[in-house]
Copies of this chain bind each other. A is one copy, B any other.
Amino acid sequence: MNKELDRKLKSRNIKPTAMRQLVLQVLIDQKTAISLPELEQKFEKADKATLYRTLKTFEENKLIHSIEDGTGAVKYALCHEKCNCYPEDLHVHFLCAKCNQTYCLNEIQIPDINLPYGFLLKSVNMVVKGICFNCKK
């Protein structure tokens, strides 16, 4: 179907099925992170379980990353091409308290944290909550 979609999927070792192309397209069009229930609504008729497993596959293969923003549903957003989801790849997320949209602040890296002795850092989830540029107007 779409060359670019296929390339993106294959670059992460994900077999490009029709379903996966559709989901990836939604994720690309999406400016903010999207949850499984929201994703479901983007399709006329789609199976929750299939979408769920598609997201899981995408996440395992680091095509997308998940964000726990405290709204009850985990949200997902595209990783950039070179992302390995290592601590140095991580960025801050922003949840708007008004419109409930979650933004990837790709340009804002997660600050270093000096953990107490004996603690080992693997990853960080940092969500800033406030009002987004759109709702502030």
Residue in B closest to A97 when the chains form the complex, CB atoms: B122
Please report the C-alpha to C-alpha distance between residue A75 and residue B134 in the assembled complex, in whole angstroms: 31
Interface flags, A121-133, vs B, CB<8A=1, else 0: 1111111111111
Please report the C-alpha to C-alpha distance between residue A123 and residue B123 in the assembled complex, in whole angstroms: 20
A26 contacts chain B at the CB level, 8 A cutoff: no
Residue in B closest to A135 when the chains form the complex, CB atoms: B120
Please report the C-alpha to C-alpha distance between residue A94 and residue B119 in the assembled complex, in whole angstroms: 9
With A92-B113, A115-B94, A119-B94 as contacts: A70 and B130 at CB distance below 8 Å: no
Q: Per a CB cutoff under 8 Å, which of B69, B118, B121, B133 touches A116?
A: B133
Give chain B residues whose Cβ lies under 8 Å from the Cβ of A116: 105, 107-108, 133
Contact A122 B131 (CB under 8 A): yes
Give chain B residues whose Cβ lies under 8 Å from the Cβ of A115: 94, 105, 108, 128, 130
* Apart from the given pairs A70-B74, A111-B111, A120-B130, 7 other A-B contacts in the complex at a CB distance below 8 Å: A68-B68, A105-B116, A115-B130, A118-B133, A119-B132, A119-B136, A122-B130
